[in-house]
Chains A and B, each alone.
Chain A
Amino acid sequence: MRRLKAFGFFWWDFVVGDDWIAAVCVVAAIAATAAIASTNVPSWWLMPVAVSGTLYLTLRRALHS
Protein backbone atom coordinates (compact mmCIF):
# COMPACT_ATOMS: atom_id res chain seq x y z
CA MET A 1 0.00 0.00 0.00
CA ARG A 2 2.83 2.36 0.91
CA ARG A 3 4.56 1.64 -2.40
CA LEU A 4 1.33 2.25 -4.31
CA LYS A 5 0.95 5.60 -2.52
CA ALA A 6 4.57 6.52 -3.29
CA PHE A 7 4.02 5.57 -6.96
CA GLY A 8 0.88 7.72 -7.15
CA PHE A 9 2.62 10.62 -5.40
CA PHE A 10 5.56 10.40 -7.81
CA TRP A 11 3.32 10.74 -10.86
CA TRP A 12 1.23 13.50 -9.23
CA ASP A 13 4.42 15.43 -8.46
CA PHE A 14 5.84 14.71 -11.93
CA VAL A 15 2.82 15.94 -13.90
CA VAL A 16 1.04 18.40 -11.60
CA GLY A 17 4.07 19.64 -9.64
CA ASP A 18 3.97 21.77 -6.54
CA ASP A 19 1.04 23.97 -7.55
CA TRP A 20 -2.17 22.09 -8.35
CA ILE A 21 -3.98 25.38 -9.06
CA ALA A 22 -2.17 25.62 -12.41
CA ALA A 23 -3.38 22.14 -13.42
CA VAL A 24 -6.97 22.95 -12.40
CA CYS A 25 -6.86 26.23 -14.38
CA VAL A 26 -5.55 24.40 -17.47
CA VAL A 27 -8.35 21.79 -17.32
CA ALA A 28 -11.00 24.50 -16.76
CA ALA A 29 -9.66 26.61 -19.65
CA ILE A 30 -9.66 23.62 -22.03
CA ALA A 31 -13.23 22.75 -21.02
CA ALA A 32 -14.37 26.37 -21.53
CA THR A 33 -12.61 26.53 -24.94
CA ALA A 34 -14.35 23.31 -26.01
CA ALA A 35 -17.73 24.61 -24.81
CA ILE A 36 -17.40 27.91 -26.72
CA ALA A 37 -16.03 26.13 -29.83
CA SER A 38 -19.13 23.92 -29.93
CA THR A 39 -21.30 27.06 -30.42
CA ASN A 40 -19.33 28.12 -33.53
CA VAL A 41 -18.11 31.28 -31.77
CA PRO A 42 -14.30 31.78 -32.10
CA SER A 43 -12.66 30.50 -28.92
CA TRP A 44 -8.92 30.47 -29.74
CA TRP A 45 -8.34 33.63 -27.65
CA LEU A 46 -9.40 31.97 -24.40
CA MET A 47 -6.31 29.81 -23.81
CA PRO A 48 -3.75 32.66 -24.12
CA VAL A 49 -5.85 34.72 -21.68
CA ALA A 50 -6.08 31.73 -19.32
CA VAL A 51 -2.31 31.15 -19.55
CA SER A 52 -1.63 34.78 -18.53
CA GLY A 53 -4.06 34.55 -15.60
CA THR A 54 -2.75 31.17 -14.47
CA LEU A 55 0.84 32.39 -14.58
CA TYR A 56 -0.15 35.41 -12.48
CA LEU A 57 -1.95 33.20 -9.93
CA THR A 58 0.78 30.59 -9.67
CA LEU A 59 3.53 33.24 -9.30
CA ARG A 60 1.55 34.96 -6.55
CA ARG A 61 1.11 31.66 -4.73
CA ALA A 62 4.83 30.87 -5.07
CA LEU A 63 5.81 34.27 -3.64
CA HIS A 64 3.24 33.99 -0.87
CA SER A 65 4.52 30.59 0.23
Chain B
Amino acid sequence: MSSIFGFSSAFLASAVEMVEALTIVLAAGVARGWRSALAGAAAAALALAVVVAALGPAITSIPLNALRLVVGGLLLTFGLQWLRKAILRASGHKSLHDEDAIFARELEHARADGAPVDHGIDAYGFVLAFKGVFLEGLEVAFIVLTFGSAQQSVPLAALGAAAAFVLVVAVGVALRAPLTRVPENAIKFAVGIMLTTFGTFWSTEGAGADWPGSDLALLALLAFVGGISAVFVVALRRGGALTRNVAAGG
Protein backbone atom coordinates (compact mmCIF):
# COMPACT_ATOMS: atom_id res chain seq x y z
CA MET B 1 0.00 0.00 0.00
CA SER B 2 2.78 2.44 0.92
CA SER B 3 4.35 1.58 -2.48
CA ILE B 4 1.23 2.92 -4.24
CA PHE B 5 1.36 6.07 -2.12
CA GLY B 6 5.09 6.43 -2.81
CA PHE B 7 4.63 6.06 -6.57
CA SER B 8 1.67 8.47 -6.61
CA SER B 9 3.51 11.07 -4.52
CA ALA B 10 6.62 10.93 -6.73
CA PHE B 11 4.42 11.12 -9.86
CA LEU B 12 2.29 14.07 -8.69
CA ALA B 13 5.16 16.06 -7.16
CA SER B 14 7.26 15.50 -10.29
CA ALA B 15 4.38 16.46 -12.59
CA VAL B 16 3.76 19.85 -10.97
CA GLU B 17 7.47 20.70 -10.84
CA MET B 18 7.89 19.64 -14.49
CA VAL B 19 4.91 21.77 -15.55
CA GLU B 20 6.68 24.75 -13.94
CA ALA B 21 10.00 23.89 -15.62
CA LEU B 22 8.24 23.46 -18.97
CA THR B 23 6.74 26.96 -18.71
CA ILE B 24 10.21 28.49 -18.23
CA VAL B 25 11.75 26.44 -21.09
CA LEU B 26 8.88 27.47 -23.38
CA ALA B 27 9.40 31.17 -22.49
CA ALA B 28 13.15 30.83 -23.12
CA GLY B 29 12.53 29.00 -26.42
CA VAL B 30 9.96 31.46 -27.77
CA ALA B 31 11.92 34.59 -26.75
CA ARG B 32 15.56 33.51 -27.24
CA GLY B 33 15.46 30.57 -29.65
CA TRP B 34 14.83 26.85 -29.20
CA ARG B 35 18.45 25.81 -29.64
CA SER B 36 19.60 27.70 -26.53
CA ALA B 37 16.54 26.75 -24.48
CA LEU B 38 16.83 23.04 -25.28
CA ALA B 39 20.60 23.08 -24.69
CA GLY B 40 20.02 24.72 -21.28
CA ALA B 41 17.34 22.17 -20.39
CA ALA B 42 19.56 19.26 -21.48
CA ALA B 43 22.55 20.59 -19.49
CA ALA B 44 20.35 20.94 -16.40
CA ALA B 45 19.05 17.37 -16.83
CA LEU B 46 22.67 16.17 -17.03
CA ALA B 47 23.64 18.14 -13.89
CA LEU B 48 20.64 16.63 -12.06
CA ALA B 49 21.65 13.13 -13.13
CA VAL B 50 25.12 13.75 -11.64
CA VAL B 51 23.58 14.98 -8.35
CA VAL B 52 21.28 11.92 -8.13
CA ALA B 53 24.09 9.50 -9.05
CA ALA B 54 26.33 11.04 -6.37
CA LEU B 55 23.74 11.26 -3.58
CA GLY B 56 21.67 8.14 -4.33
CA PRO B 57 24.12 5.44 -3.22
CA ALA B 58 25.22 7.53 -0.23
CA ILE B 59 21.64 7.89 1.03
CA THR B 60 20.72 4.23 0.55
CA SER B 61 23.78 3.07 2.55
CA ILE B 62 22.46 4.76 5.74
CA PRO B 63 20.78 2.35 8.28
CA LEU B 64 16.99 2.28 7.77
CA ASN B 65 15.89 3.74 11.12
CA ALA B 66 18.37 6.63 10.96
CA LEU B 67 17.37 7.17 7.33
CA ARG B 68 13.66 7.32 8.20
CA LEU B 69 14.38 9.77 11.01
CA VAL B 70 16.32 12.16 8.77
CA VAL B 71 14.19 11.64 5.65
CA GLY B 72 10.97 11.87 7.67
CA GLY B 73 12.09 15.13 9.27
CA LEU B 74 13.11 16.59 5.90
CA LEU B 75 9.90 15.45 4.17
CA LEU B 76 7.82 16.84 7.02
CA THR B 77 9.57 20.23 6.84
CA PHE B 78 9.14 20.19 3.07
CA GLY B 79 5.53 18.98 3.26
CA LEU B 80 4.52 21.66 5.77
CA GLN B 81 5.87 24.33 3.38
CA TRP B 82 3.79 22.92 0.50
CA LEU B 83 0.75 22.53 2.71
CA ARG B 84 0.93 26.06 4.14
CA LYS B 85 1.08 27.58 0.65
CA ALA B 86 -1.70 25.26 -0.61
CA ILE B 87 -4.00 26.17 2.31
CA LEU B 88 -3.33 29.90 1.81
CA ARG B 89 -4.09 29.53 -1.94
CA ALA B 90 -7.23 27.45 -1.39
CA SER B 91 -8.57 29.95 1.15
CA GLY B 92 -7.88 32.97 -1.07
CA HIS B 93 -5.01 34.41 1.03
CA LYS B 94 -2.40 33.81 -1.67
CA SER B 95 -2.80 34.16 -5.41
CA LEU B 96 -3.25 30.92 -7.34
CA HIS B 97 -0.31 29.58 -9.32
CA ASP B 98 -1.01 30.77 -12.86
CA GLU B 99 1.19 29.28 -15.62
CA ASP B 100 -0.14 31.80 -18.17
CA ALA B 101 0.92 34.75 -16.01
CA ILE B 102 4.32 33.17 -15.27
CA PHE B 103 4.85 32.46 -18.99
CA ALA B 104 3.99 36.09 -19.90
CA ARG B 105 6.34 37.43 -17.19
CA GLU B 106 9.26 35.20 -18.17
CA LEU B 107 8.69 36.04 -21.85
CA GLU B 108 8.76 39.77 -21.11
CA HIS B 109 11.99 39.45 -19.08
CA ALA B 110 13.63 37.33 -21.77
CA ARG B 111 12.69 39.77 -24.55
CA ALA B 112 13.81 42.78 -22.52
CA ASP B 113 17.38 41.49 -22.47
CA GLY B 114 18.11 42.55 -26.05
CA ALA B 115 17.90 40.58 -29.26
CA PRO B 116 18.94 36.92 -29.17
CA VAL B 117 22.05 35.88 -31.10
CA ASP B 118 21.34 34.53 -34.59
CA HIS B 119 23.97 31.78 -34.54
CA GLY B 120 25.32 29.62 -31.75
CA ILE B 121 24.00 29.57 -28.21
CA ASP B 122 22.24 32.57 -26.71
CA ALA B 123 23.59 32.87 -23.15
CA TYR B 124 20.41 34.36 -21.65
CA GLY B 125 18.13 31.66 -23.10
CA PHE B 126 20.55 28.91 -22.05
CA VAL B 127 20.84 30.15 -18.45
CA LEU B 128 17.09 30.78 -18.13
CA ALA B 129 16.22 27.24 -19.26
CA PHE B 130 19.06 25.73 -17.20
CA LYS B 131 17.98 27.47 -14.00
CA GLY B 132 14.31 26.60 -14.54
CA VAL B 133 14.93 22.91 -15.13
CA PHE B 134 17.69 22.52 -12.51
CA LEU B 135 15.87 24.25 -9.65
CA GLU B 136 12.52 22.55 -10.29
CA GLY B 137 14.29 19.27 -11.00
CA LEU B 138 16.25 19.44 -7.74
CA GLU B 139 12.97 19.34 -5.85
CA VAL B 140 11.91 16.28 -7.88
CA ALA B 141 15.28 14.59 -7.25
CA PHE B 142 15.00 15.32 -3.52
CA ILE B 143 11.49 13.82 -3.30
CA VAL B 144 12.38 10.76 -5.40
CA LEU B 145 15.55 10.02 -3.43
CA THR B 146 13.99 10.51 -0.01
CA PHE B 147 10.78 8.61 -0.79
CA GLY B 148 12.63 5.86 -2.60
CA SER B 149 15.32 5.34 0.01
CA ALA B 150 12.94 5.37 3.02
CA GLN B 151 10.74 2.79 1.28
CA GLN B 152 13.80 0.91 0.05
CA SER B 153 12.52 1.31 -3.49
CA VAL B 154 14.27 4.13 -5.33
CA PRO B 155 13.41 2.55 -8.74
CA LEU B 156 9.66 2.73 -8.01
CA ALA B 157 9.84 6.41 -7.01
CA ALA B 158 12.05 7.09 -10.06
CA LEU B 159 9.44 5.32 -12.22
CA GLY B 160 6.79 7.72 -10.89
CA ALA B 161 9.00 10.70 -11.78
CA ALA B 162 9.82 9.23 -15.22
CA ALA B 163 6.11 8.68 -15.97
CA ALA B 164 5.43 12.33 -15.07
CA PHE B 165 8.36 13.45 -17.27
CA VAL B 166 7.09 11.51 -20.31
CA LEU B 167 3.53 12.79 -19.83
CA VAL B 168 4.46 16.47 -19.30
CA VAL B 169 7.02 16.55 -22.15
CA ALA B 170 4.63 14.78 -24.56
CA VAL B 171 1.77 17.17 -23.81
CA GLY B 172 4.16 20.16 -23.84
CA VAL B 173 5.58 19.21 -27.26
CA ALA B 174 2.06 18.63 -28.63
CA LEU B 175 0.68 21.93 -27.35
CA ARG B 176 3.82 24.13 -27.41
CA ALA B 177 2.08 26.25 -24.79
CA PRO B 178 2.04 26.39 -20.98
CA LEU B 179 -0.06 23.60 -19.48
CA THR B 180 -2.69 25.86 -17.98
CA ARG B 181 -5.37 23.16 -17.81
CA VAL B 182 -3.40 21.04 -15.39
CA PRO B 183 -5.12 21.44 -11.98
CA GLU B 184 -1.77 22.50 -10.55
CA ASN B 185 -3.06 24.05 -7.33
CA ALA B 186 -5.14 20.98 -6.47
CA ILE B 187 -2.18 18.67 -7.21
CA LYS B 188 0.09 20.79 -5.01
CA PHE B 189 -2.43 20.48 -2.18
CA ALA B 190 -2.48 16.68 -2.59
CA VAL B 191 1.33 16.52 -2.67
CA GLY B 192 1.56 18.69 0.46
CA ILE B 193 -0.78 16.28 2.26
CA MET B 194 1.19 13.22 1.07
CA LEU B 195 4.61 14.66 1.98
CA THR B 196 3.35 15.67 5.43
CA THR B 197 1.74 12.24 5.95
CA PHE B 198 4.88 10.29 4.99
CA GLY B 199 7.11 12.72 6.87
CA THR B 200 5.05 12.26 10.05
CA PHE B 201 4.94 8.47 9.64
CA TRP B 202 8.66 7.95 9.02
CA SER B 203 9.99 10.50 11.51
CA THR B 204 7.86 8.87 14.24
CA GLU B 205 9.17 5.39 13.34
CA GLY B 206 12.72 6.74 13.10
CA ALA B 207 12.38 8.27 16.58
CA GLY B 208 11.67 4.78 17.94
CA ALA B 209 7.86 4.86 18.28
CA ASP B 210 5.55 2.21 16.82
CA TRP B 211 2.36 3.04 14.94
CA PRO B 212 -0.74 1.11 16.01
CA GLY B 213 -1.75 -1.02 13.02
CA SER B 214 1.70 -0.64 11.43
CA ASP B 215 1.41 0.45 7.75
CA LEU B 216 -2.38 0.79 8.04
CA ALA B 217 -1.76 3.85 10.20
CA LEU B 218 -0.71 5.63 6.98
CA LEU B 219 -4.36 5.68 5.86
CA ALA B 220 -5.54 7.15 9.17
CA LEU B 221 -2.71 9.67 9.07
CA LEU B 222 -3.58 10.64 5.49
CA ALA B 223 -7.21 11.24 6.54
CA PHE B 224 -6.05 13.19 9.59
CA VAL B 225 -3.70 15.51 7.65
CA GLY B 226 -6.31 15.97 4.90
CA GLY B 227 -8.96 16.67 7.54
CA ILE B 228 -7.03 19.33 9.47
CA SER B 229 -5.99 20.97 6.18
CA ALA B 230 -9.65 21.19 5.14
CA VAL B 231 -10.54 22.63 8.55
CA PHE B 232 -7.85 25.32 8.17
CA VAL B 233 -9.08 26.18 4.65
CA VAL B 234 -12.68 26.54 5.88
CA ALA B 235 -11.58 28.56 8.94
CA LEU B 236 -9.51 30.93 6.81
CA ARG B 237 -12.27 31.33 4.21
CA ARG B 238 -14.75 32.24 6.92
CA GLY B 239 -12.27 34.57 8.60
CA GLY B 240 -12.32 32.34 11.66
CA ALA B 241 -10.31 32.41 14.87
CA LEU B 242 -6.98 32.25 13.09
CA THR B 243 -7.66 35.41 11.06
CA ARG B 244 -9.29 37.26 13.97
CA ASN B 245 -6.28 36.62 16.18
CA VAL B 246 -4.00 37.89 13.45
CA ALA B 247 -6.15 40.97 12.88
CA ALA B 248 -5.96 41.67 16.59
CA GLY B 249 -2.18 41.21 16.44
CA GLY B 250 -2.39 38.05 18.55
**Which residues of A does B touch, CB under 8 Å?**
14-19, 22-23, 26-27, 29-31, 33-34, 36-38, 42-44, 46-48, 51-52, 54-56, 58-60, 62-64
Contact = CB atoms under 8 A, between A and B. Distances in A.
Contacts of A52: 228
**B-side binding surface: helix, strand, loop or mixed?**
helix
Interface of B: 69, 72-74, 76-78, 80-81, 83-84, 87-88, 93, 138-139, 142, 196, 199-200, 203-204, 206-212, 217, 221, 224-225, 228-229, 232, 236, 242-243, 245-246
B84 A59 contact: yes
A29 B203 CA distance: 9
**A-side binding surface: helix, strand, loop or mixed?**
helix
A54 B80 CA distance: 8
A64 B206 CA distance: 34
A30 B73 contact: yes
Given A59-B87, A63-B246, A43 B80 contact: no
A26 B69 CA distance: 11
A14 B138 contact: yes
B78 A15 contact: yes
A63 B203 contact: no
B81 A17 contact: yes
17 contacts: A26-B73, A26-B76, A26-B77, A30-B72, A33-B208, A33-B209, A43-B208, A44-B210, A47-B200, A47-B204, A52-B228, A54-B80, A55-B84, A55-B228, A56-B232, A60-B242, A60-B246
B203 A30 contact: yes
Contacts of A43: 204, 207-209
Contact of B246 (A31, A48, A64): A64
